[in-house]
Structure 1
Amino acid sequence: MGFDRKLSIKERIQKRRKQKRKRFFIVLCFLLISIMTYFVINNALGHDGEDPVFSDKEPAQSTIQITAAVESTPTAFPASVGVASSVSTTPEETNGDNVNASPANSAENDAKGENSLEVSSSAQGKVNYDKLKSDLGQYISKFAGQYGIHYIDLENNYEFGINDTNEYIAASTVKVPLNYFVYKKIAAGEVDPKKTLTYTEGDFEGGTGILQNKKLAGKSFTIKYLMELSITHSDNIATNMLLRHFGRKNLKNYMRSLGGTVVKDNKNVSCPKDMAIYMKDVYEFCNSNGELGEEFKHNLCNTVFNDRLPKLLPKEVKVAHKVGNQIEAVHDVGIIYTDKPYVLTVMSKGIVSEEEACNVIAEISKKVYDVVKDR
């Protein structure tokens, strides 16, 4: 063994045992590293070739349990603040039609750097919208990146925008028109919300949501449940299942039919003005479709992500909204239910700090609320 013969037998035994322990730990560490490497490689191969639509940092946690092959709607969701979800700009399958309607108007607005829509002083009543717009423009100019804003007074249809027709990564804000698209089909009797969709491997995606943490093989979920999760938890898997069933291009065409101008088949993009148009339609749908409308409104008002539009508003003010995150992009689009409700959509690009961007959106929301709440 190479021991010093001057050592006693007891010392030789102790030294031999020490070497054996050392070899044992080396072998154990090697085995652990090998096992971990196997699982990492196996997991990567298991989802190789996927075309992810959504991507984000961490999932929203929930106590919802999947106990049956078919899930119904859970009775309650946690009210905690979560990390916002996102939709990537990974190209989708398309026939090559990349539509961006109203190019003349878009070019004009891009040249100006903001939407040219103004509200005349005589029509503004108690609110000086020109001053509000100017104040907001000065405020967002202090920060890195670009912020786009669109406001609609739902009582009088007054509206204005700043950088609101430029192209932004839509991220998870696209889940609003997706849900609206499906709800309209349910209202028309074309879709049964109790119909179940079965999970496939192609639906898998990490990021926000709760389904990714469950054993999904062979599981089926109702359309109603998937819609709820896609809004309240911004669940990416639920959204992918809905997109697979209803068709991504069908959704894009529907967004165009609503008046969306920044819509492309191969990219997940939008703008604050388009999102405001969708939110206004959602507001009208919720008001005129009884329990179905209340269900949609409930989902939007009970999302776990509340670190932007609602953050600085009074607790009693309901905000039906949807956030979105991507690299250098943080958004929130919503309906603020004051005595006279209004739509406010804020999108960003080129931001350097997610935390700063969330706070900027919260401040924008508070500034608008303080000016228009008593109009």
Structure 2
Amino acid sequence: MKFRQLAAFLLSSLVLLSGCATNNSQEETYESTRVEGVTKKQVDDSSSLKSREEPKAKQGTTEKAKMAKVQQLLDEEYNEEGYGIYVESLVDESSASMNGNRLFFAASTGKLPALYYTQKMFDEKKIDPNKKFPYVDDINEVEDYSYMRAGAGVLQDEELGTEFSLDQIMEWTAKHSDNQGANFLGYYGGDKFGSDMQKEIARIIGRPWHIPFEVTPKENALLMKAIYEQDGKLVTYLSKTDYDNERIAEYIPKDVKVAHKIGDAEEFTHDIAIVYAKNPYIISVMTEDAGSYEDTSILSKKVYDILN
């Protein structure tokens, strides 16, 4: 009897010891798997993050390299006092410049502030785009801000007292480079080119703004960039103008939208544009006794080919 009890006791002890060993082995296996699993997840997460960041970094590097080639082009072929050129990528804000901070007579590019600010009033619901205002000669008499009555545009052919919506006048100003149209926008849309409008334009260009007739290529580019960021009807109007077959837009592929504002006055010829290419950018070209419309077209195509 004692012998059987002893045998049973020894057998149960062996079973118990075997179970403990198995549990320990399982725990060790679990711990190993858990540690390896965490490590692998960390590696996977790190690799995933790196794979997401690499295209952005690569794109930024590529854009900067392309813009460096644009700068080389400007240095080698357009290093003249009469040229003012500023190009900025809308992908990474890299830029190239030749006399980009030189003040030029703005000609009709000085209408960009009135166009931009009117669109801003629409966007902020401060003015109804379809509300009509009377065409009065007072719009042409805001000291230091109004364009001359004659010159470009169609509003001058309308009868005084006729009412027009600001949206209609904004389209005419963009499409026809309308002198009195810009005056109309500044008078009604900008509260007679008032202090709020002056402060907003100053914020964009980075200096006090008290007159629309002097501007640098870079400042015009900044105004056009602000219009790009609005992405309102104004962009459509600026891409369907009387001047789309010349200067910046002429040799750009026809399926690429170009929204632009030209300016001409005696020896001054300008064009400021948003080019909606695969890699979009702003190009501002201002000249004084330098080059021609065709020269601007050729420059524009060279820049387009480098950036795209």
TM-score by length of 1: 0.59
- The aligned runs of 1:21-36 (5 Å cut-off) are none
Structure 1 match to 2:7? none
Aligned residue number for residue 180 of structure 1 = 116
Match of 1:283 in 2: 228
1:195-220 C-alpha deviation (Å, 9 max, x unpaired): 21211234461111112233x12211
Query: Would the alpha carbon gap of residues 175 and 315 (structure 1) be closer, same or farther in structure 2, given more than 3 Å must change?
Result: same
Deviation at 1:313, TM superposition (A): 1.3
**Quick one: distance in 1 between partners of 2:131 and 2:194?**
22
Q: Distance in 2 between matches of 1:179 and 1:322?
A: 10
Aligned equivalents of 1:309 and 1:372: distance in 2? 14
Q: 2:151 aligns with which of 207, 223, 228?
A: 207
What is the identity, as a one-letter code, of the residue corresponding to 2:157? N
How much has 1:194 moved relative to structure 2? 1.5
List gaps (5 residues or longer) in structure 1.
Answer: 1-120, 287-292
1:266, 1:179 → 2: CA distance?
15
Counterpart of 1:268 (choices 210, 213, 217) is 213
Q: Which amino acid letter does the alignment assign opposite residue 198 of structure 2? A: K
Instruction: Give me the CA root mean square deviation.
Output: 2.2
Distance 2:298 2:119 in 1: 32
1:152 to 82, 88, 102: 88
The answer as to whether partners of 2:78 and 2:98 remain within 8 angstroms in 1 is no
What is the CA distance between 1:369 and its match in structure 2?
A: 0.4
Equivalent position amino acid for 1:231 in 2: A
Structure 1: how far apart are the matches of 2:206 and 2:111? 14
- Worse overlay, 167-176 or 226-235: 167-176
Match of 1:313 among 228, 248, 252: 252
2:131 aligned partner, one-letter code: K
The match for 1:131 is: 69
SS in 2 for 1:305: coil
* % identical equivalent positions: 29
> Where does residue 295 of structure 2 map in the other structure?
360
* Cα deviation, residue 248, structure 1: 2.4
Do 1:197 and 1:241's aligned partners in 2 also have CA atoms closer than 8 Å? no
Corresponding residue for 1:331?
270
Cα distance in 2 between the residues matched to 1:208 and 1:315 = 26
Q: What is the distance in 2 between the residues matched to 1:235 and 1:140?
A: 31
2:103 to 167, 171, 188: 167
State the one-letter code of the partner of 1:211.
L
Cα separation, 2, equivalents of 1:210 and 1:326: 18
Provide the C-alpha distance between the structure 2 equivalents of 1:174 and 1:131, rounded to a whole number of angstroms. 30
Q: Return the match for 1:298 from 212, 217, 236.
A: 236
Q: Structure with the greater relative contact order (CA < 8 A, sep ≥ 6): 1 or 2? A: 1
Aligned to 2:134: 198
SS of the residue aligned with 1:248?
Answer: coil
CA distance in 2, matches of 1:259, 1:203: 25
**Equivalent in the alignment of 2:168:** 225
Q: Mark the structure with the bigger radius of gyration.
A: 2
Larger helix fraction of residues: 2
TM-aligned CA distance change 1:196 to 1:122, over 3 Å:
closer
* Partners of 2:88 and 2:95 within 8 A in 1: yes
Contact 2:74 2:97 in 1 (8 A): no
Is residue 180 of structure 2 the alignment partner of residue 237 of structure 1? yes
Q: CA deviation at 1:329?
A: 0.9
Q: Secondary structure at the match of 1:309?
A: helix
TM-score, structure 2 length as denominator? 0.71
What are the Cα deviations for residues 316-339 of structure 1, in whole angstroms up to 9, with x where unaligned?
Answer: 111011001112111100110111
SS of the residue corresponding to residue 248 of structure 2 reads coil
Judge conservation of contact 2:112–2:261 (CA < 8 Å) in 1: yes
Q: How does 1:1-20 map to 2 (within 5 A)?
A: none
| SS in structure 2 at match of 1:243 | helix
The answer to whether the 8 A contact 2:60-2:92 is kept is: no
Distance 1:151 1:254 in 2: 23
Once the two structures are overlaid, the 10-residue window that deviates more, 326-335 or 204-213, is 204-213
* Cα shift at 1:366: 0.6
TM superposition shift of 1:266: 4.4
Distance 1:267 1:314, change over 3 A: closer
Aligned match of 2:304: 369
Quote the Cα distance in structure 2 between the aligned partners of 1:341 and 1:174.
23
Structure 2 counterpart SS, 1:229:
helix
